[in-house]
């Protein structure tokens, strides 16, 4: 078949599926807004394109998001027309619709079967919106209207889509019936063979910081250090953790930008990032000697990220009720003892007392207590880590659990 992937930052969630379809003998292409040169990636033909305009200054804030998606959708539509003129006709299109690129592809290729990666359906209640009162909106009623309009992108896609794919049961459940009934739940998959415990692991960071097995290494990992992923709660737990564990080192991985939610108010916070805001908040409560044991590592290369997880004594993962991070499942796969927020969809992976420990998202004191208890109990850490790895291999292994089901989904999509 001719199979076309559409993702603004390809490969994204399709990094395993697209090459696997190439290996099956299909002709696979990918349209992306990523600024790269046309070429081949693992047998996939890369077709970059770009938007020709920006958003309108002063546009109504409730429709600003949809205008952005319409602009991106038009850009992809024009690029698709050019491909059609060259004779390109996909049998199947697999798209991540979250940025709007695939909105108008059925207008170009009406006979192609369209499958969507269904990451999230926005809700005014019961998910991320309004979850954290500390960052409450000044206009919650208006936000409910804005979120309804934000879901126009999802709804318009499902008007023309043939099937959906979602990584977790909870993320699929955010979509309303009857859309939910057309979604198959299969996770993107974790390479549990590569992400395995390694007793002899060591790591040197920044040229001088040597980490070895046996140390009290606490890890906290996110793409960006921001409230959506509980960075503020973790930082507020640090003074007690450092006080109780004088030999612990805290390794914090993540950038200073924003992936989800709002950026800090530049006036109120003086232009500081979320990382700096909450570091500054807790710094007066932590001595200089203890603060020297807190390491902000930025965004680590993957070849350093994996050994860091393998060295972790306790891994902390916090999130609003939102999209589940790959990093949690990667930590489970390497056998980390995990303390995580008692939020959906975390409960799909972490069963309290079996594959990790759960704590109320906002309970910084409870988080500190759980971390310190595990650091005091090597046998319990080993037990939780072993069971987390077993669970990850059974439910999320790429080669045995996820990729075969993804390939079957594409086959069913093709009819």
Q: DSSP labels for 179-208? A: TGGGEEE----B-TTTS---TT-EEEETTT
Place of tokens 């007690």: 240
pLDDT score for 38: 87
User: Are 18 and 36 within 8 A, CB to CB?
Assistant: no
Of the CA atoms within 13 Å of residue 317, those in its CB half-sphere come to 31
How confident is the prediction for the chain on average, in pLDDT? 95
Among 307, 309, 306, which Cα is nearest to 337's?
309
Helical residues (DSSP H) of 258-363, grouped into ranges: 274-282, 288-291, 302-311, 326-333
pLDDT score for 60: 94
- pLDDT tens per residue, range 215-261: 999 999 999 999 999 999 999 999 999 999 999 999 999 999 999 88
The mean pLDDT value for 375-398 works out to: 97
At 56, is the pLDDT very low, low, confident or very high (cuts 50, 70, 90)? very high
Does residue 384 register a pLDDT over 90? yes
The mean pLDDT value for 89-100 works out to: 97
- pLDDT tens per residue, range 292-341: 999 999 999 999 999 999 999 999 999 999 999 999 999 999 999 999 99
Of the CA atoms within 13 Å of residue 96, those in its CB half-sphere come to 20
**Strand ranges inside 279-406, DSSP E:** 294-298, 314-317, 338-341, 357-359
CA distance 318 to 213: 24
Among 141, 148, 144, 96, which Cα is nearest to 117's?
96
* pTM attached to this predicted model: 0.93
Q: Say how many residues make up the chain.
A: 415
Does residue 37 register a pLDDT over 90? no
User: Are 96 and 7 within 8 A, CB to CB?
Assistant: yes
pLDDT score for 138: 84
The mean pLDDT value for 180-196 works out to: 96
pLDDT score for 207: 81
Least confident of 151-165, 201-215, 357-371, 379-393: 201-215
Among 86, 2, 84, which Cα is nearest to 45's?
2
User: Are 27 and 2 within 8 A, CB to CB?
Assistant: yes
pLDDT score for 341: 98
Least confident of 70-84, 201-215, 324-338: 201-215
pLDDT score for 358: 98
The proportion of the chain whose per-residue pLDDT surpasses 90, expressed as a percent, equals 91
The mean pLDDT value for 169-174 works out to: 96
Torsion of CA 292, 298, 304, 307, to 10 degrees: 60
At 208, is the pLDDT very low, low, confident or very high (cuts 50, 70, 90)? confident
Other C-beta atoms closer than 10 Å to the C-beta of 330 total 23
CA distance 174 to 364: 28
At 64, is the pLDDT very low, low, confident or very high (cuts 50, 70, 90)? very high
3-state SS, 84-140, equals: HHCCCCCCEEEECHHHCCCCCHHHHCCCCEEEEECCCCCCCCCCCCCCCHHHCCCCH
Higher pLDDT among residues 222 and 37, named by residue: 222
The mean pLDDT value for 390-415 works out to: 97
Does residue 59 register a pLDDT over 90? yes
Does residue 160 register a pLDDT over 90? yes
């Amino acid at each position: 078949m001719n199979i076309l992937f559409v993702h603004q930052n390809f490969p994204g969630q399709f990094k395993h599926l697209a090459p696997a379809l190439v290996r099956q003998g299909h002709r696979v292409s990918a349209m992306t807004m990523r600024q790269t040169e046309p070429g081949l990636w693992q047998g996939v033909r890369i077709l970059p394109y770009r938007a020709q305009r920006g958003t309108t200054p002063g546009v109504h804030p409730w429709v600003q998001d949809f205008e952005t998606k319409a602009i991106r959708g038009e850009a992809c539509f024009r690029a698709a027309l050019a491909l059609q003129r060259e004779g390109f006709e996909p049998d199947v299109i697999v798209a991540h619709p979250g940025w709007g690129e695939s909105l108008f592809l059925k207008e170009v290729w009406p006979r192609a079967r369209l499958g969507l990666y269904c990451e999230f359906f926005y809700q005014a209640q019961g998910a991320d919106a309004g979850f954290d009162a500390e960052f409450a909106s000044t206009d919650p009623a208006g936000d409910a209207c804005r979120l309804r309009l934000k879901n126009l992108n999802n709804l318009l896609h499902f008007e023309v889509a043939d099937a959906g794919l979602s990584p977790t049961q909870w993320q699929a459940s955010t979509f309303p019936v009857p859309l939910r009934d057309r979604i198959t739940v299969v996770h993107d998959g974790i390479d549990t063979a590569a992400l395995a415990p390694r007793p002899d692991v060591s790591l040197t960071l920044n040229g001088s910081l040597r980490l070895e097995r046996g140390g009290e290494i606490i890890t906290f990992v996110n793409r960006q250090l921001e409230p959506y992923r509980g960075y503020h709660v973790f930082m507020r737990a640090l003074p007690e953790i450092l006080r109780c564990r004088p030999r612990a080192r805290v390794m914090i991985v993540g950038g200073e930008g924003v992936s989800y939610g709002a950026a800090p108010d530049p006036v109120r916070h003086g232009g500081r990032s979320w990382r700096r805001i909450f570091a500054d908040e807790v710094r007066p409560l932590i001595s200089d000697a203890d603060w020297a044991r807190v390491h902000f590592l930025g965004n680590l290369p993957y070849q350093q990220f994996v050994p860091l997880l393998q060295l972790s004594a306790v891994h902390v993962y916090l999130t609003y009720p939102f999209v589940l991070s790959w990093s949690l499942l990667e930590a489970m796969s390497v056998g980390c003892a995990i303390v995580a927020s008692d939020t959906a969809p975390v409960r799909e992976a972490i069963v309290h007392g079996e594959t990790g420990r759960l704590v109320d998202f906002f309970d910084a004191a409870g988080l500190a207590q759980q971390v310190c208890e595990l650091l005091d109990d090597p046998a319990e850490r080993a037990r939780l880590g072993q069971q987390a790895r077993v669970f990850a291999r059974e439910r999320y292994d790429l080669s045995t659990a996820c990729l075969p089901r993804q390939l079957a989904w594409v086959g069913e999509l093709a009819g």
